[in-house]
Amino acid sequence: MGASGEADTDTDEGSGDGGTGEEPEPQVVPAPAGLRRLLGAQYVSSVRYLLGDEAAAAAVPPDDQALGGLDSIGAAQLPFPPTAIEQFERSAMDVASAAVANPEVLATTVPCVVDGPRDATCYERLATDFGRLAFRRSLSPEEVDAYVGIAIDGMNWEEGSFEIGIQYALAAFLQSPNFLYIVELGQEREDGLRELTASELATRMSFFLIGRTPDAEVLDLAETGELETDEDVRVLAERLVGRPAARETFKQLYAEVLRLRDLEFKGKDAELFGNFDEELASAMRDEILLVLENLVFDEDGNFLDILDTERSFVNPRLAEFYGIEAPDASGWAPATLPAGQGRTGILTRAGFLSAFSHPALNSPTRRGLFVQESILCNEFAPPPPGVSTTLPEPTQDTTLRERLEVHMEDAACSSCHLQMDPLGFAFEAYDPVGAYRTKDNGFPVDTSGTVPGVGSFANASELAPLLKQHPQVPGCVIKTIYRNSIGTVETDDQFEGLIALEDAFESSNYSMKQLLVELTTSPLFRLVDAPK
């Protein structure tokens, strides 16, 4: 169960004699060295940084492939299917063509693209200087030659020109495994542990915190020995966390965790919920993400407040949905949700409630399972073989809750469902699109419940503080961030590192910004195990 539970640890056990030698390091077996494919969003953001907006508009990466519910884990483990490689080729051609037509951004790295000389010496600058940004490291002379060769072939082609040479060399860089994978090999330290090289660390930090390939300046830091000590790392991490892109990257992470990404495609029963269209669904998603952004980046508040915050943001469409006055402007504004609806914490907001329900029915099981798995990091096995997972047909009209309570009578079901369904019952005051209700199927809803290890509550507002104070929540936040940062699922081997992060998280009064920074200095982040 990793870092959840007890919070004290003896950091003196760390091996303080190797590496950067400041704080004693917690002893961990880090995730293995190796390859992680760029996620689609990382690919597009990297293209935007390297080649500009027009090039980014032409960038169409293949779909991400999740594993264990997270794209980042799939990125660390799965091979590319052949269709992805073809898609990368097409995308590279289109991006390169757009970049040559709009060379301003490229010219900031390789001025000769615009200023000349229009000859092979410029191709060499392109291979050397653009190549370094694309590969996040300096190229070997061999590698430079290979890419210059492509550019010269392009120039000599029957329809070729100087620009065509640039274009095909760019297309080549964008197809190289050195670009498409984040390569994290590490190098052995004196104490035998493997540590990311400074360039690899800069790259890992950049993708983690701002969702794209590192800046030239960040690579400079790494290459000039200014990214060595924990303090160096901390300073850079704080700078990156301060950028606007850090907000977007963090919101993408939580949109994935809260399954809000595809909310507008989820679809609800048109007869029952005709108001649930793509515009409303995306407003529901944005509300929760704005609450998170505001809490983490504007206020640097206690992250656990997400579970009991009263804060909201609405646009006119969402204001209408919640039944409050629309903001003056057409955009988003802070709002107070109706007092009687008990919308305490992000789990009571329409976006979460819509994401975790069926098209026509609530799913207390799914809502409860999310709380157990993703807020508390408890794990559940699939239903045992042969068990009917179907609810009996009610003998008379009743609420969904009463039908679900059958799960609790059957011993084969109750061991798990007693821990899931009652958590979900707390949200029975909200329908499948998250609208407030007092009746289900014509009968009064019952939002009370008792859950082993959580406590008793009358409704979602009472559940909120129980969750917020639950000792597993901070550790679960850390696991969520750690899993996503490098695409791995923690094991006992990472326990000490996670515990150290939990201590730091607690001492910072649960500042997410500080947690993000702290993770980058952790051996969990800076070290790698043998290549996988």
Partner 1 sequence: MHFLRKRSLSRRTMLRGLVGGGLVAVALPPLEAMLDANGEALANGEPLPKRFISFFSGNGFILDEFEPTQAGADWQLSPLLEPLAPVKEHINLCTGLANRCEDLITHHEGITAFTAHSFIARGDLPGFASDAGGPSIDQVIADALARQATLPVRSIQIGVSKFDSPADNGTNADTHSFRGEPGNLTPLPPEANPLAVWETLFGEFVPKPDDRQLRMSILDVVREDARRLGSQLGTKDNQRLDAHLQALAELEQKIAAMPPTCEIPGMPTLANDEVNGQERLVEVNQVMADLVAMAFVCDITRVASYRLVPLAGEAVLSEAEPASSDTHHVVSHNAEYSQSARDEFRSNIRFVMARLNDLIATLSATNDVEGNSLLDSSIVYATSDCAVGWNHTVRRHPVILAGSGGGYLKQPGIHYRAIENDPDDPNGQNDNGMSLPTTGNVSDVLLAVLQNYDPEATEIGSGDPRSETPLTDILA
**Interface residues for partner 1 in 82-141 (CB under 8 A)?**
82-86, 89-90, 93
CA–CA distance, 184 with 527 (Å, rounded to integer)? 10
Q: Which is nearer to partner 1, 143 or 228 (CB)?
A: 143
Q: Give the 3-state secondary structure percentages of the chain, helix then strand then coil, rounded to 5.
A: 55, 10, 35
Verify binding: residue 379, partner 1, rule CB under 8 A: yes
| Contacting residue, 18, 24, 327, 359, with partner 1 by CB under 8 A | 359
97: amino acid identity, one letter? S
What is the token pair recorded at 147?
């890419």
For residue 311, give the H/E element and its range.
strand 311-314
Which 48-67 residues touch partner 1, going by CB under 8 A?
Answer: 63, 65-67
Q: Which is nearer to partner 1, 407 or 513 (CB)?
A: 407
- Minimum distance from residue 357 beta carbon to partner 1 (Å): 11
Which 225-264 residues touch partner 1, going by CB under 8 A?
Answer: 259, 264
CA–CA distance, 455 with 436 (Å, rounded to integer)? 24
∠ Cα 44 56 201 (to 5°): 40
Q: From 345, 343, 325, 344, select the one nearest 333 (Cα to Cα).
A: 325
281: amino acid identity, one letter? A
- Minimum distance from residue 103 beta carbon to partner 1 (Å): 19
- Minimum distance from residue 22 beta carbon to partner 1 (Å): 29
What are the residues whose beta carbons fall under 8 Å from the beta carbon of 162, sequence distance 6 or more? 118, 119, 122, 155
What are the residues whose beta carbons fall under 8 Å from the beta carbon of 387, sequence distance 6 or more? 410, 412, 413
99 near 167, Cβ under 8 Å?
yes
- Minimum distance from residue 393 beta carbon to partner 1 (Å): 4
Q: Which is nearer to partner 1, 265 or 339 (CB)?
A: 265
Verify binding: residue 418, partner 1, rule CB under 8 A: no
45 near 6, Cβ under 8 Å?
no
96 near 174, Cβ under 8 Å?
yes
Q: Which is nearer to partner 1, 265 or 330 (CB)?
A: 265
Which 285-344 residues touch partner 1, going by CB under 8 A?
Answer: none
Question: CA quadruple 129, 135, 139, 142: dihedral positive or negative?
Answer: negative
Question: CA quadruple 490, 499, 252, 527: dihedral positive or negative?
Answer: negative
Count the site residues for partner 1 by CB under 8 A: 77
Q: Which is nearer to partner 1, 79 or 244 (CB)?
A: 79
- Write down the H helix ranges in 278-357: 278-293, 316-322, 350-355
- Minimum distance from residue 11 beta carbon to partner 1 (Å): 27
Q: Which is nearer to partner 1, 147 or 505 (CB)?
A: 147
Q: Which is nearer to partner 1, 216 or 530 (CB)?
A: 530
287 near 353, Cβ under 8 Å?
no
Q: Which is nearer to partner 1, 68 or 444 (CB)?
A: 68
Q: Which is nearer to partner 1, 82 or 452 (CB)?
A: 82
The one segment of 6-14, 301-309, 311-319, 358-366 that binds partner 1 by CB under 8 A: 358-366
The one segment of 26-34, 50-58, 114-122, 241-249 that binds partner 1 by CB under 8 A: 26-34
Verify binding: residue 32, partner 1, rule CB under 8 A: yes
- Minimum distance from residue 446 beta carbon to partner 1 (Å): 22
CA–CA distance, 110 with 114 (Å, rounded to integer)? 8
Q: Which is nearer to partner 1, 81 or 444 (CB)?
A: 81
The one segment of 103-111, 146-154, 227-235, 293-301 that binds partner 1 by CB under 8 A: 146-154
321 near 275, Cβ under 8 Å?
yes
| Contacting residue, 18, 366, 436, 462, with partner 1 by CB under 8 A | 366
| Contacting residue, 358, 410, 492, 507, with partner 1 by CB under 8 A | 358
Which 259-278 residues touch partner 1, going by CB under 8 A?
Answer: 259, 264-271, 278
∠ Cα 208 42 532 (to 5°): 65
Q: From 426, 278, 434, 428, select the one nearest 354 (Cα to Cα).
A: 434
CA–CA distance, 418 with 452 (Å, rounded to integer)? 8
Q: Which is nearer to partner 1, 341 or 362 (CB)?
A: 362
Q: Which x/- pattern over 168-207 shows residues binding partner 1 (rule: CB under 8 A)? A: x--xx--xxxx--x-x-x----------------------
- Minimum distance from residue 412 beta carbon to partner 1 (Å): 10
